[in-house]
Amino acid sequence: MLCLGIETSCDDTSLALVEDGKLIGQETSSQDKVHALFGGVVPELASREHARFIGPLFDRLMETAGRAALDIDVVAVARGPGLLGSLLVGMAFAKALCLGTGARLIGVNHLHAHLLAAGLERELVFPAVGLLVSGGHTDLYRISGPDGFTRLGRTLDDAAGEAFDKAGKMLGLPYPAGRIMDELAQRGKADPKLFPRPYLDNDSLDFSFSGLKTAMSVHMAKAGIQPAGLRDASGELGVVADAAGELADLCASFTLAVVETLYEKTRRALVLPACADAKSVIMAGGVAANSFLRNKIEALAGQFNKDYILPSSGLCTDNGAMSAYAGWLLAEKGYSHGLDLVPVPRGKAVPLDMLCAHSA
């Protein structure tokens, strides 16, 4: 079964082909440079870029893989949550393709696709506790299978990646700041007392990261830290601009606060009676590329004697392969959608009833 995956939920246009569970091709166009000018994703620009690139990316993908549109059995498209205009571009393309070729349509939950992505590289083991940490979401799940996600907790405000991006912006780092803060943190020394571990003093598995950016801004004001002063004369960030290691230390302290908070809530999920039968811990999303978080969650899984499942960095950030793979898994289970499928914007739950048994 050949499944085309389409990912246009935020600012990356990415299309991929999965055949019988194996990735056979992927084409991606990143918009990081477009949005970096504004310090964050500009939704209207994102949808314009998707509309510009989706056609050429599809042509290149099919040509490189040596396949024709009529070879596609299933078109899996990220249906949400995401930016509405961006989702609509991928959705319109997917539906047109299904109409033209007779392929089956499957709308994929973008968050579930993130957590299933590792299945392209190794066998997934269920039930699992899933930690999804991205620029738009921070969620904990109990996962019984590709169609069995129960959300245990979510962020009430900023996502973990958003916390990195916003703190990085204050420090004068380019968007998205997570990766560069990670690199800087590796050179710095963390002060464990500098930032709070937010929203731990309760029984809930929800997160709240918005206070961390306030803590960063308060600290910068108190310590008289100027973001512009952290750049060198050419405006580039680097060791020269951070000769005293001030930026690296701040990034290390901030990263520790985010990582320890994620660790603690994941640990609490693992001791829930509902998760006692979990065999693995799956982590995914852009922030799962963070080197400190990877080490901590791996250690946690080891402590609980669970299999630790983490996609490689390229599969952590948004990509078409994860849509294609999640769609392929669901198609294998006999699911499909009608062409009346609607996208789900950020902040709204993707309905569980969206999948129906395929009757063919």
Interacting residues toward ligand KG4 by CB under 6 A: 10, 134-136, 161, 164-165, 176-179, 182, 285-287, 289-290, 317-318
Please say which residue, 173 or 355, places its beta carbon nearer to ligand KG4: 173
Look at residue 174 and give the partner it binds from ligand KG4, Zn ion, none, a contact being a CB closer than 5 to 8 Å depending on partner kind: none
Please say which residue, 247 or 344, places its beta carbon nearer to Zn ion: 344
The β-bridge relationship of strands 104-109 and 148-154 is: unpaired
Please say which residue, 14 or 336, places its beta carbon nearer to ligand KG4: 14
CB of 291 to ligand KG4, least distance (A): 7
User: Running DSSP on this structure, what letter comes out for residue 40?
Assistant: S
d(CA 301, CA 263): 10
The β-bridge relationship of strands 104-109 and 74-80 is: parallel
Please say which residue, 139 or 165, places its beta carbon nearer to ligand KG4: 165
Q: Which residues bind Zn ion (CB under 5 A)?
A: 134, 318
Closest by Cα among 58, 101, 126 to 324 = 58
The CB-nearest residue to ligand KG4 is 286
Enumerate the H helices of the chain as residue ranges. Answer: 32-36, 43-65, 84-101, 110-116, 160-170, 178-187, 210-223, 246-270, 291-303, 313-316, 320-332
CB of 18 to Zn ion, least distance (A): 18
Look at residue 230 and give the partner it binds from Zn ion, ligand KG4, none, a contact being a CB closer than 5 to 8 Å depending on partner kind: none
* Tokens (6 digits) for 342: 């609607």
Residue 354: Cβ-neighbour burial (10 angstroms; 0-12, 13-18, 19+): middle
Please say which residue, 107 or 161, places its beta carbon nearer to ligand KG4: 161
d(CA 320, CA 328): 12
CB of 165 to ligand KG4, least distance (A): 5
CB of 316 to Zn ion, least distance (A): 9
CB of 113 to Zn ion, least distance (A): 8
CB of 226 to ligand KG4, least distance (A): 22
Please say which residue, 65 or 180, places its beta carbon nearer to ligand KG4: 180
Tokens 């830290």 — which residue?
225
